[in-house]
Structure 1
Amino acid sequence: MEWAWLIPVFSFAAAPLIVVFGRVLPGKGSVLAILAITAGFGLFWWVFAGFLGAGAGTENCEISHYTETLTCHYEMAWFNAGLAGEASSVLLTWGFIVDPLTVAMLGLVTFVALMVQIYSLGYMKCDSRFGWYYAVHAMFAAAMLTLVLADNFLLLYVAWELVGICSYLLIGFWHERPAAKEAAKKAFIVTRIGDVGMLIGILLIYREVGSFSMFDAFEAVSSGAMTQGVTTIAALLLFLGAMGKSAQFPFHVWLPDAMEGPTPVSALIHAATMVVAGVFLVARVYPIFSAYDGDALFVVAVVGLITALMASTIALVSVDLKRILAYSTISHLGLMMLALGAAGYTAAIFHLLAHGFAKALLFLGAGSVMHGTDELDIRKMGGLRKAMPMTAFLFSLGALSLGGIPILSGFWSKDEILLAVNDHLNKSFIVLALFTAFLSAMYMARAMFVPFFGKMGEDMDHAHESPMAMIVPMALLGIFAAFFGFAAFNWPGSYDGIGSFIFFHEAEGFHFNWWLGITSIILAVGAFVLGYLIYLKGSVSLEGFHSKMGSLVRVAEGKYYFDEVYQWMVDHVVMLLANFIGLFDRVVVNDLAVNGPANTVRRLGIVMRLHVTGHVYSYALGMVVGTVALSLFWWFRAVS
């Protein structure tokens, strides 16, 4: 396990090598990137096996009293900030954590990144910047892996920002397109707002603790050295960063526009890197969020529920296949936050993993559709299962899983979230969560039935199946989307379920709430049946619904007008403030504070120059005037 730090190093090393030598490397550097992430994936299994065989007596490992899980911590000195030996000097350390959360995330990130990079061989092969794509992709995966391993807030924040920079480069990969360029800037700026809050939270913790170490922060909270007020404020500031990265209300607006990047990039962002970083952050510092009766967790739950419900309604009326999936991601990230807010730590991470496999599959499926049809508007599609049978089958598998159809992975993980909400929050939360689950199944049914079933679209005659380089990664992801849910089960005598591996303070055995489970099944199956009748058979019309609820539909189609509101704020508030600051900087700072003294001296020099004539009598007159002036000054001073 002590070699876990090498997992991101492989990809970190590959990125600059591809940039410098990509033209002469096999596959323009793609082979090196794939070999690097393959090495990381292989090392993950070695770390996983070592962790399963470790115990509290293993070197550098102990049962953490902050989480009650086995935690292995490796740390080394980084550098001294200040003069060594002085009280004011700060020793900064570099280290990594191997615990159940780390192991789970390492597996997800390395596997999904590997699948996406193999898939990209077929999807991106004709792109002129093929090597650059793989270089940034490798750096993206490495940054997320570093974030997952980080044992202190400083290293985590560095990796956090590197993830943001890589996402900016990949979203704007086709920067010659105005929409892609604007989407990249939007993602970078919106997430920076949350990152500022996160940075303030980290500095607040450092002020209180005197260290960037997460374990020192947990100890300060546990011992009461950090008061309830400070702890809650710090948690909420950290949550601002999580809201930005995980596209939570009201910072969700950047993620749908991020679909302007290459589709494989969307798969990695949505399934295993940037957007799950926020959920991971809350889970990583859960001892801070859950302290003092978890005051901050209620805010997390409320934001998560609002996000999940709002995004579900928008997904239901979107017509772009990738944007449907984008709003689906926002909705499910909201459900994960809701679970964390409802003390459903295991449920949230379980759903993060199950969602990651299914969502990667769905985005790669959307990329396959784009590759085979050059179209993403589902209104122009139909009957693609005939031309693209493998893509249709695998996409449908992912849609059914994410829609919560038994016995697929999404059903088990989603129901664990519903159970946590039902047990720890008031009944209004579970009612709205069930409604969100129903909407989730509805938009998945729509995304599945409209493009792939029914009558072939008018312009779909040229549709064709994707190459095996794209199909095989989808098939491997499909296996996990279908069967990963069984990881939750207890197998007496051999395996106690995922709840005995990933938990907070107390191991959780798998349990099935019958009334909640049956309700969930009825809603999910009912949604797919209703979707079949509406979108495929046409036997159920939406005209009546639109006539009665037309205004609500228009609001959802307008994405609740967040973009318009933010644009108005930028035009009328931010620009007004920016113009005022610009005027203040120009007039007060530049003209008065900086240029003012210089101008005064220059003018004084001009005046003085008039009296420097070169004549002796002028200098004598000056000496007399000066002597008289000094004499008068001293005389008045002596008299007073």
Structure 2
Amino acid sequence: MLDLLWLVPTIPLLGFLILFVTAGALGRRAIAIVGVGSVGLSMLVFMAVVATFLHTPPLGHAYTQTLWTWVNVMGFDPKIAFYLDPLSLIMTLVVTFVGFLIHLYSTEFMIDDDGYNRFFAYMNLFVASMLILLLANNLLLLFVGWEGVGLCSYLLIGFWYDKPENGAAAQKAFIVTRIGDVAMAVGLFLLFTHLGTLNIQELMQRAVRAWPVGTDLPIAAALLLLGGAVGKSAQLPLQTWLPDAMAGPSPVSALIHAATMVTAGVYLIARMHVLYGLAPSVEHLIAIGGALTLLLAGFSALTQWDIKRVLAYSTMSQVGYMFLANGVGAYSPAIFHFMVHAFFKALLFLSAGLVIQATGDEHNIFKLGGLRKELPFIFWPFLIGASTLAAVPLVTAGFYSKGLILQDVWSSTNGGPWLWAAAWVGEFLTGMYTFRLVFLVFFGESKTPIRPQYRAGYRVMIPLIALSALCLVGGFINLPPGLGNAPWFTHFLHTALPPTPKVSAHGDMETRFTLMGLAAAASLGGIYSAWLFFRHGRGMHWLANTGFGAAVHRLWFTDWGFDGLYDRALVRPYRYWAHLNRNDFIDSVYDGVAWVTRRTHRLAATTQNGQLRRYTMVLATGSVIFITMVVFL
């Protein structure tokens, strides 16, 4: 069954091609069958591959399937080949399963949209590109998938292109992520130039042999690849595109945030962990960047009024946790939190989409309220997803995944109290902004009329039920000591990812319980603060109405001024020089060449007068000049 691995990305790609070629020719039912069926079949094929991988593990717990040589030039011979190990297995399983649920949900959610065929074509291509990225055995093929998800994000964020602001958001996402992609491309050139291959496993072996720890080359290569990672995963300083990406339909937001593009950077760092081990300073930079991002995004989420933008900032924050974990060497906890995050973030975005649809496209959480009684079938999945995001102790998967990150940040040789404190404050903020959302949308008095006879069908309810169940039980596959001591997930990944480098300490169990207690206190403290301010209090308007409070609110609401900074430092100067050069001096050079050519042609044309005597005279004169030059020169 392992030989069927190539079908996993190919089937969604075929679904895209069918929908692309038959645009406008298929009915909506046929479109749904192709769009959902391709991803569902890919998921089933991969589950069969997983069953074989688990029952009869390949040698070294890794399987490589080479289809053909892509190009072979001067020793550069990248393959169209796929690599399956525990890391790519977990990531691919999440993408296919969650992607299938989002596609199923979309068949009903998007049923009235004029771009139904186009939507599923883009979504199929998105999933196919992400699967290529995850399964590629070399960095060049990975880069193809990397650029594919970037293209699809542009197409899907700007899906409703009739609104100019949606097109602007799509362009912003495309341009900002391209900055990181250019850095990544330069990094690939550097790696091949100095190590002679882009095969990931061979590359890591050569890097260890050729590059001492902490030298310039591994640091440069790691920084360049990090540029691509922070762009795709919306981390500082390339995070500004993600909140505006909410312009796309809610299923698009779920797919981008939960299972595909935003987590690509996390995977890249984990996959290239050997290279980052040779650049400890870059690892430290990753940890600091992740800690800052999770804090800044958490504060910004507290000030947003758009339900989807709150969830967007929460994605930035949670991916910040994954970067922090990668930075301290806790790769397995980072991937564990990726998996749990895929469950609760897909659940939250899909539930939010139903809230928006049921209330007549209302996004403003201050204009919502009281929906708990009117939309109970949405309230309970949203509450489960919010509780998992806030890491409610013991009963949600988020408690186990985020708690493991906090523990490893504290005990890692690359971590420490300051990074742990940032993660702890971030957990408090997460509980506060998440349940601010819950209390304002589902509690209190109803402010928005519900569409008459609004009902959700089974195609949207099945994904909500499945994801709700995973949010509740998904954490039990990696229980810490003292709470079951069953780290099956970490053990499964041990052949692909190294263990967290930890400082040995006495009373380790006591420290673990203390850290778990503090994590639980942060989560519950944030939820209580949200209840105090936004459920039974006056909110925080009194603080925002003060001069200092208004300034802080404005700073947080505008993503700490990054958009304004980039606008002044980059966008406006570029537009200014573009205006000065509106006639393009490069074109002037080519216009000059054309002018000279035209004048020369006209001058030469005057010699063609039809007088044979002049032709003979010119021929004789030229012959004399040529012979003279040969004789005397």
When the two structures are superposed, what TM-score results if normalisation uses the length of structure 2? 0.90
* CA gap 1:289/1:406 in 2 versus in 1, 3 angstroms: same
Residue by residue over 1:341-377, the C-alpha shift from the partner in whole angstroms, topping out at 9 and shown as x without a partner, is 0111011111111111000000001001011112110
Q: Distance in 2 between matches of 1:422 and 1:302?
A: 14
Q: Distance in 1 between matches of 2:29 and 2:615?
A: 85
**Residue 368 of structure 2 corresponds to residue 399 of structure 1:** no
Q: Distance in 1 between matches of 2:487 and 2:80?
A: 34
Q: What is the CA-CA distance between 1:196 and the residue it aligns to?
A: 0.9
Alignment match, 2:377: 390
Q: Distance in 2 between matches of 1:621 and 1:128?
A: 72
Aligned CA-pair RMSD: 2.9
Residue by residue over 1:292-322, the C-alpha shift from the partner in whole angstroms, topping out at 9 and shown as x without a partner, is 5x23211211221221111111111000000
Alignment match, 1:559: 559
* CA gap 1:542/1:9 in 2 versus in 1, 3 angstroms: same
Q: What is the CA-CA distance between 1:333 and the residue it aligns to?
A: 0.9
Q: Distance in 2 between matches of 1:208 and 1:52?
A: 37
Q: Distance in 2 between matches of 1:222 and 1:342?
A: 19
Q: What is the CA-CA distance between 1:484 and the residue it aligns to?
A: 0.8
The secondary structure found in structure 2 opposite 1:513 is helix
The secondary structure found in structure 2 opposite 1:91 is coil
Between 1:532-541 and 1:355-364, the stretch displaced more is 532-541
Residue by residue over 1:255-302, the C-alpha shift from the partner in whole angstroms, topping out at 9 and shown as x without a partner, is 11111111011101100011111111111111111125x232112112
Alignment match, 2:505: none
Alignment match, 1:205: 191
* CA gap 1:541/1:34 in 2 versus in 1, 3 angstroms: closer
Alignment match, 1:498: 489
Residues 246 and 253 in structure 2, CA contact (< 8 A), matched pair in contact too:
yes
Matches within 5 A, 1:32-47: 32-47=34-49
Between 1:491-500 and 1:103-112, the stretch displaced more is 491-500
Residues 373 and 462 in structure 1, CA contact (< 8 A), matched pair in contact too:
no
Residue by residue over 1:491-510, the C-alpha shift from the partner in whole angstroms, topping out at 9 and shown as x without a partner, is 99996421111242348999
Residues 329 and 499 in structure 2, CA contact (< 8 A), matched pair in contact too:
no
Q: What is the CA-CA distance between 1:327 and the residue it aligns to?
A: 0.7
**Residue 5 of structure 2 corresponds to residue 7 of structure 1:** no
Residue by residue over 1:153-196, the C-alpha shift from the partner in whole angstroms, topping out at 9 and shown as x without a partner, is 11111111111112211111111121222211211111111111
Q: How many residues align?
A: 615
Residues 477 and 487 in structure 2, CA contact (< 8 A), matched pair in contact too:
no
Residues 18 and 25 in structure 1, CA contact (< 8 A), matched pair in contact too:
no
Q: Percent identity?
A: 32
Alignment match, 1:549: 549
* CA gap 1:433/1:461 in 2 versus in 1, 3 angstroms: same
Q: What is the CA-CA distance between 1:427 and the residue it aligns to?
A: 2.4
Alignment match, 1:410: 398
Alignment match, 1:250: 237
Q: Distance in 2 between matches of 1:576 and 1:376?
A: 36
Q: What is the CA-CA distance between 1:202 and the residue it aligns to?
A: 1.0
Residues 149 and 261 in structure 2, CA contact (< 8 A), matched pair in contact too:
yes
Matches within 5 A, 1:204-603: 204-224=190-210, 228-292=215-279, 294-374=280-360, 375-407=362-394, 408-423=396-411, 424-460=414-450, 464-489=454-479, 496-503=487-494, 504-506=497-499, 513-538=512-537, 542-544=541-543, 547=546, 548-578=548-578, 580=581, 583-588=584-589, 590-592=590-592, 594-595=593-594, 598-599=597-598, 601-602=600-601
Q: What is the CA-CA distance between 1:425 and the residue it aligns to?
A: 2.1
* CA gap 1:494/1:405 in 2 versus in 1, 3 angstroms: closer
Q: Distance in 2 between matches of 1:540 and 1:577?
A: 46
**Residue 174 of structure 2: which of 173, 183, 188 is its match?**
188
Q: Distance in 1 between matches of 2:429 and 2:109?
A: 31
Q: Distance in 2 between matches of 1:257 and 1:32?
A: 30
Q: What is the CA-CA distance between 1:101 and the residue it aligns to?
A: 0.8
**Residue 109 of structure 2 corresponds to residue 123 of structure 1:** yes
Alignment match, 1:179: 165
Unaligned runs of 5+ residues in structure 1 are 63-69, 83-87
Q: What is the CA-CA distance between 1:72 and the residue it aligns to?
A: 2.0
Residues 432 and 526 in structure 2, CA contact (< 8 A), matched pair in contact too:
yes
* CA gap 1:529/1:597 in 2 versus in 1, 3 angstroms: same
Q: Distance in 2 between matches of 1:183 and 1:381?
A: 25
Q: Distance in 2 between matches of 1:176 and 1:90?
A: 45
Aligned AA for 2:9? P
* CA gap 1:458/1:577 in 2 versus in 1, 3 angstroms: closer
The secondary structure found in structure 2 opposite 1:360 is helix
Between 1:527-536 and 1:320-329, the stretch displaced more is 527-536
Alignment match, 1:52: 54
Q: Distance in 2 between matches of 1:110 and 1:283?
A: 20
The secondary structure found in structure 2 opposite 1:125 is coil
The secondary structure found in structure 2 opposite 1:2 is helix
The secondary structure found in structure 1 opposite 2:302 is helix
* CA gap 1:117/1:473 in 2 versus in 1, 3 angstroms: same
Aligned AA for 1:237? L
* CA gap 1:346/1:628 in 2 versus in 1, 3 angstroms: closer
Q: Distance in 2 between matches of 1:146 and 1:329?
A: 23
Q: Distance in 2 between matches of 1:323 and 1:541?
A: 19
The secondary structure found in structure 2 opposite 1:249 is coil
Residue by residue over 1:204-253, the C-alpha shift from the partner in whole angstroms, topping out at 9 and shown as x without a partner, is 11112222211121011121258832221111111111111111112111
* CA gap 1:122/1:13 in 2 versus in 1, 3 angstroms: same
Residues 387 and 464 in structure 1, CA contact (< 8 A), matched pair in contact too:
no
* CA gap 1:89/1:421 in 2 versus in 1, 3 angstroms: closer
Between 1:488-497 and 1:333-342, the stretch displaced more is 488-497
Q: What is the CA-CA distance between 1:549 and the residue it aligns to?
A: 3.1
Q: Distance in 2 between matches of 1:266 and 1:534?
A: 29
Q: What is the CA-CA distance between 1:479 and the residue it aligns to?
A: 0.8
* CA gap 1:602/1:312 in 2 versus in 1, 3 angstroms: same
Q: What is the CA-CA distance between 1:53 and the residue it aligns to?
A: 2.4
Unaligned runs of 5+ residues in structure 2 are 503-507
Q: What is the CA-CA distance between 1:619 and the residue it aligns to?
A: 6.6
Q: What is the CA-CA distance between 1:469 and the residue it aligns to?
A: 2.1
Residue by residue over 1:373-432, the C-alpha shift from the partner in whole angstroms, topping out at 9 and shown as x without a partner, is 121100101110111012111101111110121121111111111122222324222222
* CA gap 1:265/1:587 in 2 versus in 1, 3 angstroms: same
Q: Distance in 1 between matches of 2:490 and 2:224?
A: 29
Aligned AA for 2:285? V
